Amino acid sequence: MTESRGLVLIVEDERHIADVQRLYLAREGFGVHVETDGIAGLAAARRMHPVAIVLDIGLPGLDGIAFCRALRDVGDWTPVLLVTARGEEADRILGLELGADDYLTKPFSPRELVARVKTVLRRAAGPPGQTESVGRLSVDPISRTVRCDGEPVELTATEFNLLAFLLQHVGQVFTREQLLARVWGYPGYRDTRMVDVFVSQLRAKLGEASPIRTVRGVGYSATASSR
């Protein structure tokens, strides 16, 4: 697991396309899970918390557009790479408006797919959102400011990204590798101690208001209540 770049969920009803996608992503060090219809795909997204989703638009059960909307409606900002067929331009634009991160038009080369997945992961650090209050903290993703008991806290960009990411996923546990992929955009970066360093910095700055908990043997998560 320490070698993995994280799990990519592929939702694609054309088996031969899914097989090629799986092969190339696995070769790059990603874990891969494939679903062939939209409903099972959405269930898998909610169950498995993939680092990215490669999402076909034309799917049985639930199409890629409805899938994307269902995901974003509940505040799930997992990066989505839409896979579209020729003639689906309108759907592609709607998908991007609904929060898909990028798109790929069939036919595409597997290498291009891999490059695009890496790119959406790099960009995944700062999803848009509203000010969130968790415990004693409030986080404003637009102005990129954090307040503790109403007082501003000085954070670096990366500290802010890490804290905001964890607070957007309260209760969800992330491995250091997942945090490197989703916050730093370094899916292949191996030095996971960097995560520990930044967590330490955040704890030092936030003191008892820090929502970050160490989950022994796994990684980190944020809790809704401060000590």
Size of the residue set binding Ca ion (CB under 5 A)? 3
Asked if residue 56 binds Ca ion (CB under 5 A), the reply is yes
Q: Which stretch binds Ca ion (CB under 5 A): 12-20, 111-119, 125-133, 192-200?
A: 12-20
Rule CB under 5 A: which of 176-215 touch Ca ion? none
Asked if residue 13 binds Ca ion (CB under 5 A), the reply is yes
In the bound state with Ca ion, the residue whose beta carbon lies nearer, of 33 and 49, is 33
Asked if residue 37 binds Ca ion (CB under 5 A), the reply is no
**In the bound complex, which residue of the shown chain has the CB atom lying closest to Ca ion?**
58
Q: How far is the CB of 38 from Ca ion (least distance, A)?
A: 10
HEC sequence for the chain: CCCCCCEEEEECCCHHHHHHHHHHHHHCCCEEEEECCHHHHHHHHHHHCCCEEEEECCCCCCCHHHHHHHHHHCCCCCCEEEEECCCCHHHHHHHHHCCCCEEEECCCCHHHHHHHHHHHHHHCCCCCCCCEEECCEEEECCCCEEEECCEEECCCHHHHHHHHHHHHCCCCCEEHHHHHHHHHCCCCCCCCHHHHHHHHHHHHHHHHHCCEEEECCCEEEECCCCC
Query: Judging by DSSP bridges, how do beta strands 80-84 and 102-105 pair with one another?
Result: parallel
In the bound state with Ca ion, the residue whose beta carbon lies nearer, of 83 and 134, is 83
Q: How far is the CB of 98 from Ca ion (least distance, A)?
A: 18
Asked if residue 58 binds Ca ion (CB under 5 A), the reply is yes
Q: Which stretch binds Ca ion (CB under 5 A): 53-61, 89-97, 109-117, 139-147?
A: 53-61
Asked if residue 61 binds Ca ion (CB under 5 A), the reply is no
Q: How far is the CB of 21 from Ca ion (least distance, A)?
A: 12
Binding residues for Ca ion (CB under 5 A): 13, 56, 58
